[in-house]
Structures are given as C-alpha cells and as structure tokens.
Amino acid sequence: MVGGGLAVVTLRNVIHSAVAMMVCFGSLAGMYALLGAPIIAAAQVLIYLGAISVLILFAIMLTQAGDASLPAPFHRQVWLAVVAAVAVFGLIVWGAVQTDWHGATRATVLGLTAIAQAIFTTYALPFEVLAFLLLAAIIGSIFLARRPEEDERAS
Amino acid sequence: MPSLSAYLVVSALLFSLGAFGFLARRNAILMLISIELMLNAVNLSLVAFNAYQPGGSLNGAVFALMVMAVAAAEATVGLALVIAIIRTRQTPEVDEYSDLKE
C-alpha cells in the first residue's frame, strides 16, 4: 500500500499514478477488513475503486490529448516539499508513539446492522446534510464542466 | 495482531506522501489525487481508533463513511474545476496559471 502511495507521487506519467492510486486504495480496503470493519472496506471499494478512480482516469484521458512529451513532474520547490512531508510524518509518528493509549484493545467486528442503525438514528441529521451536499456537488460540477456558448457552437 | 500505533504510523506515512505530492507535483489532477491520499490516511486512522477503542461505539466508522462521501463530492467538484481550467488554459500544469501575478 505504501509502495502504491509512493508510486502515486513519484511516477512521471499521470495515468500510471492513477493506477498506482487504485492499488493503494485497494490495499487500504484490505486494511479496513483487517481492522474488523468490512462495511467500510466495501464502501472503500465501491466509492474509491469504483467511482473516484474511474472519474480521475476519465479526467486524465479527457485532458491529456495524447501528448508524448511528458514535462518534469516536480516543482522547483520539491526539496522544501520533502522537508515539509518528513516533518509532518515525524510529528505524527512521535505523537502516536509517545502517547499512552491505555492498552487499547480490539473491539468486536463492526456489524452492518449496528452501523445502519447508527446512521439513521443518531446521525440522521448529518446524513441528510450529506445528501444535500452531494446534490449540490452534482449540480455544481455539471454547471462547471458543461461546455459554454451553445449559440457559438451552432454558428 | 498489529498494534494501534502501527496503523497510525502507516496512516502518517500515507498522509505525508499525500502532502508531499500536493506540494511537489505540477499536475493539477495529481494534486487532487494527493488530496484523496490524505483523506484516505485520515480515514484509516479514524477506523483504527474506532476499532481499538473499548466500549464498541461506532462514531469513528460512521465518521469515516461521511468523510468518504465528502471526499467523493470534493473529487467531483475539483475535477470539474480542473477540467474547466484545462479547457481554457490548455495545460494541466499549475505553474502556468499565473494570470493574477502578471
């Protein structure tokens, strides 16, 4: 999974990066299953492997009109980015290792029934807000991506 | 069985890879992919915390599902924006978007 993530950010070809991203997300789904959350693993496969990856691949293929010359993938400030990323990584790992988690142990496997009940009772309002957000995202992306100037194309 | 810290370290690695990609790559679509990586790292740590906490509450798992939905919305709108920009500027390189500077 980490190899997939590394490939995402280092590969020169954008399509290769997107496929590496799919590998990374797929192994992440396996990790969710390992954590006893099969419903989240299923959602990961559905949403990320199924929807977002295809969306990103479509976007890449729409925008890259088969140009053979691939530009340099990185900015000039790549070393600054390396420093920032390593600093973030070090900070998080230091926090995770230093903290005493009070002997946290594994709970039981997350059941589908329990999650569904929680979503539709305790979290009913966030669920509805989320549905509205998705609707707004659909309308907004259609508005943004539609081809402008209908009359210009007709002439 | 790996410990909670192991999952958190993997999540931190994924997050910093995403941060590095966002800061260093020049392609707008790859910057969006890096954002997805970071969101996934956060999701992993949420699910790990939820799996390792006693009491069997579901907050982390439900929150991870909500993060996934928000990430889907973000990817949709972000890709639509990027495609609109690429259509007008004919390049996915973010260095070229310097109209405000000039």
Rounded mean pLDDT for each run of 10 residues along chain A, 155 residues in total:
67 78 87 85 89 87 63 70 86 83 67 83 90 91 74 52
Contact of B19 with B40, CB cutoff 8 Å: no
Q: CA nearest B94: which of B45, B33, B22?
A: B22
**What average pLDDT does range B49-66 have in this prediction?**
82
Cross-strand pairs, B93: B27
- The CATH code of the domain at B4-96 is 1.10.287.3510
Task: Extract the tokens encoding A11.
Answer: 């590969």
Contact of B61 with A115, CB cutoff 8 Å: yes
CA distance B101 to chain A (A): 17
Q: Output the pTM of the full model.
A: 0.83
pLDDT above 70 covers what percent of chain B?
A: 91
B 54-83 residues with CB < 8 A to A: 54-56, 58, 61-62, 64-66, 68-77, 79-83
Task: Give how far the C-alpha of residue B69 lies from the chain's centroid of Cα atoms, to the nearest Å.
Answer: 12
Domain A1-66 has CATH 1.20.120.1200: yes
Least confident of A10-19, B43-52, B68-77: A10-19
pLDDT of residue A131: 92
Q: Where are the domains of chain B?
A: 4-96
Q: Where are the domains of chain A?
A: 1-66, 111-146
Given pLDDT bands bounded at 50, 70 and 90, which one contains residue B1? Answer: low
Which of A58, A62, A63 should be substituted to probe chain B, the one whose Cβ sees the most B Cβ atoms within 10 Å?
A: A63
The ipTM value here is: 0.83
Residues in CB range of B77: below 8 A, 6 or more apart? A137, A140, A141, A144
